[in-house]
Chain A
Amino acid sequence: MAILAVFLARRPETLLVQCMIILFSLPLLGIGGALVRSLGLICPMIGLIFIITFLFYDVQTALLLSVRLLNLMTVSFILFRVSGVEEIGNTLKWIGIPHSFVFIFTTAMRYVPLIGQKIRNIMDAQTSRGIDLRPKIKNAGNFIALLMPLLIQSFVLSDELAIAMETRGFGRKGRSIRKMHPLTGLDYSLMAIGLGFLILFAWWENG
């Protein structure tokens, strides 16, 4: 499953209005609601990109770029929503990426929500003593009050993480690997479909 989405994401071709149709049919997997909720974050970003490209280039480029960005984000959203971090990690291992790199990736993913929590805590603590951190232009100077504690706490966390891994024998030789989610016929056929679409679009582009 994961692989199909990866293939989709690697396809930033132009004129992908058709792609939108596929993408909007995918949330039918039952994650439409969650997608709509996270649109609150995606839309302003895309809006910003649109305005910037509109100012520097023209409407057409801006529009195309925004659509492409939306596609890209939706697809990666679906990827991370549908498959667990370890599944993606295992797939990366299967592709042939060394364990240590895959481990960095999975651990980083694991800490995304925690860092999010930390950001909220820091913002609460700072606004409670008068340092306004709401996203307004006049508050821009205050953001150092968010960044500094966040950076320092992340360093401390990574230190503690290293200790935790060390005490449980990370880096010892002869590590055994449990449970490789084996690829089933379904995975292979989905990969084939993904590849088929990719070729189809490439051919349609050039032809």
Chain B
Amino acid sequence: MIRMKNIRYRYPGTGWVLKGIDLSIQRREYITVFGSNGSGKSTLGYILNGLIPHFFNGTLEGYLAINDAGAFPVVGTVLQNTDAQLFNSTVENEIAFGLESLGLPESEIERRIKEISERLHITDLLGQSPMDLSGGEKRMVAIASVLCLRPSLLILDEPYSNLDWHGIRQVRSVLREIHEQGTNVLVIEQRVGGFLRDATRCIVTEHGKIIFNGSPEDSYEILRRNHLVPNYPKRCDSIPACNDPLLSVRNLSFRSQKKEILKNISFEIKNGETVAVIGKNGAGKTSLVKQFNGLLRPTDGDLFFQGEKIKGKATSQLATDIGLCFQNPNDQFFKDNVKDEILAGARAIGKNTDHAFHTICNIFHLDSILDKSPYRLSEGEKKRVALASVFVMQPKLVILDEPTVGQDGRFREALASLLDELRTQGLTILIVTHDLEFARATADRWIVLHDGRLIADGYPRELCRDEYLVRIGAMIRPEEDAGLIF
């Protein structure tokens, strides 16, 4: 159906992003394309759907043929960022948008909306605004808005990023159905997961070239070797944590706009522990950790840090004790070089951090990029800079909110060993995540949140197979989560 021969492409003002791609796509295929950040996999998608050369400038060389007698959208694309993809005020209008663009008559539009929403099981979402949906639901609507145009090939750019296991399961089964019903599916991802088993073919890209093109069963070796499946380092033996609690949470409840977000939560974190807070999206994980540094204030209950109440202290003052690093590094860059960026917080509160700065730059391997602009870094480097700007304040407790989202395997490996190193130096670390593999590799202890309640607190080994947790959906078995156990 599609044939590419020796395709080369570069964006204006950059080097070659694709360096000779040979690829052909037959009918009824389900292809997964894996590659690390910057390996050219998204660019490949742009070429397939015609955004290159029609939307992006740049230089395109090679031979590309699309044999299909069908109408306009031979290739439909679901973008990575659903906030950009969904720009209408209701789900119904969202689906209608593409159909209106095709100039279809009104009756046909209504018919297709009905058909697609039944097919993807989103009929009850039609009247809602895309803003109010969960991550998984947004993804389904994005798929519907493209699939209703009846493309013969559906490309999805990182459809599983940002989703928890529940959302992944939803999207996975829909993609399987779509493929069975005769649409070609091409999933571009950097995180290898259970969905690999649904695919008929697996492609691995690296530095703008295809380095593997074959069946999913045979891809294991190469995915490991290219760190797309992270080889997490073996952890050094757990240091016995001191017994004095660093942070105690007592009967904490939190309400916002009459909704109960957190319900009666109590636990303690001891000095030197590494703890992971696990839970689905919307379970209240982020709301919980925002209480610790005063971004949110509890409606009920108390919080103690080193025996002192947190209540009444300003967040920016707490930053030297409790560091909190959020998911999206782009939320905090505003200086024109990395060095100023890292020191911005410390300077704002007048803390002298010269010594810590050099240590941190060493640990995070930042010395070579200190003069670069933070916007021009790769995703992994951006994340490192964002983390460094929190660590440089020398907090006693560091909280990382979803540190692995949008990061490739190589970075996740590096981060795991980095956290291990900091842990041996006696730092207390709290990781908020739905990436269970990462949590297993880094934390001694898991705290499981579900619907705003703390429902389990214990050793990862035991919790990840806990029947009750799996049944209520607060946990997923490792076999289903990870992609490579055939």
Verify if B98 is at the interface (C-beta below 8 Å from A): yes
Q: Which of A73-124 contact B (CB under 8 A)?
A: 84-86, 106-107, 109-111, 113-114, 118, 121-122, 124
B393 touches A122 (CB 8 A): no
Q: At the interface, yes or no: A164 with Cβ under 8 Å from chain B?
A: yes
- Contact of A178 with B319 at beta-carbon distance under 8 Å, contacts A163-B79, A166-B55, A170-B101 already known: no
CB closest residue in chain A, given B79: A164
Partner of B328, one of A106, A121, A131: A121
Closest beta carbon of chain A to B430's beta carbon, Å: 13
Contacts of B166 in A (CB 8 A): none
Residues in A lying within 8 Å of B, measured CB to CB: 84-86, 106-107, 109-111, 113-114, 118, 121-122, 124-132, 134, 142, 144-145, 147-149, 152-153, 156-157, 160-179
Complex alpha-carbon distance, A126 and B326, angstroms: 10
Q: Are A110 and B87 in contact (CB under 8 A)?
A: yes
Known: A113-B131, A161-B87, A163-B55. A129 touches B332 (CB 8 A): yes
Q: Which of B51, B293, B349 contacts A166 (CB 8 A)?
A: B51
Residues of B contacting A169 in the complex (Cβ-Cβ under 8 angstroms): 72-73, 98, 101-102, 149
- Interface-facing stretch out of B89-97, B117-125, B227-235, B273-281: B89-97
B145 at the interface (CB under 8 A from A): yes
| A162–B345 alpha-carbon span in the complex (Å) | 35
Known: A131-B344, A163-B51. A148 touches B106 (CB 8 A): no
The residues of A that contact B51 with a CB separation of less than 8 Å are 163, 166-167
- Docked Cα-Cα span, A72 to B93, in Å, equals 30
B104, closest chain A residue (CB): A176
Contact of A178 among B90, B109, B131, B314 (CB under 8 A): B109
Contacts of A142 in B (CB 8 A): 348
**Interface class of chain A by DSSP:** helix
> Chain B residues in contact with chain A, CB under 8 A?
49, 51, 54-55, 72-73, 76-77, 79, 81, 83-85, 87-90, 93, 96-106, 109-110, 131, 145-146, 149, 290, 293, 295, 314-316, 319-320, 323-326, 328, 330-334, 344-346, 348-349, 351, 375, 389-390, 393
Which of B54, B102, B315 contacts A128, CB < 8 Å? B315
Q: How far is the CA of A153 from the CA of B334 in the complex (A)?
A: 11
Pairs across A and B, CB under 8 Å, 9 listed: A84-B89, A84-B90, A124-B290, A128-B293, A164-B87, A166-B51, A167-B76, A175-B100, A176-B106
Partner of B101, one of A118, A145, A168: A168
Known A86-B89, A121-B326, A128-B325; judge A114-B83 contact (CB<8 A): yes
* Beta-carbon nearest neighbor of B46 in chain A: A163
Q: Given A130-B349, A142-B348, are A149 and B49 neighbors across the interface (CB < 8 Å)?
A: no
Point out the residues of chain B lying under 8 angstroms from A176, CB to CB: 99-100, 102-106, 109
Q: How far is the CA of A133 from the CA of B389 in the complex (A)?
A: 17
Q: In the bound complex, how far is the Cα of B343 from the Cα of A131, in angstroms? A: 11
Smallest distance from the beta carbon of A196 to chain B beta carbons, Å? 32
Q: Which residues of B lie under 8 Å from residue A149 when comparing CB positions?
A: 330-334
- 6 tightest Cβ-Cβ pairs between the two chains A and B: A169-B101, A160-B84, A148-B334, A130-B345, A129-B345, A168-B98
A73 to B324 Cα, complex, angstroms: 38
Q: Is the beta-carbon distance between A128 and B330 smaller than 8 angstroms?
A: no
Give, as a whole number of angstroms, the nearest-CB distance from B77 to chain A.
5
B54 proximity list for chain A (CB < 8 A): 166
Chain B min CB distance to A91 (Å): 14
Provide the bound-state CA to CA distance between A177 and B104, in Å: 9
How far, in angstroms, from A129 to B346 measured CA to CA in the complex?
A: 8
Q: Using Cβ atoms and an 8 Å threshold, which residues of chain A touch B98?
A: 168-169
Q: A160 CA to B158 CA in the complex, in Å?
A: 14
B331 touching A131, Cβ below 8 Å: no
One of B81, B93, B316 near A127 (C-beta < 8 A): B316
Contact (Cβ within 8 A) A178 B96: yes
Tell me, rounded to whole Å, the shortest Cβ–Cβ distance linking A162 to chain B.
Answer: 8
CB–CB B316/A172 < 8 A: no
Instruction: Return chain A residues, CB-CB under 8 Å to B332.
Output: 122, 125-126, 129, 145, 149
Select one of B49, B72, B81, B314 contacting A132, CB under 8 A.
B314
Q: Is the CB–CB distance between B319 and A128 below 8 Å?
A: yes
The distance from the CB of B340 to the nearest CB of chain A, in whole angstroms, is 11
Query: Nearest chain B CB to A158's CB is how many angstroms away?
Result: 9
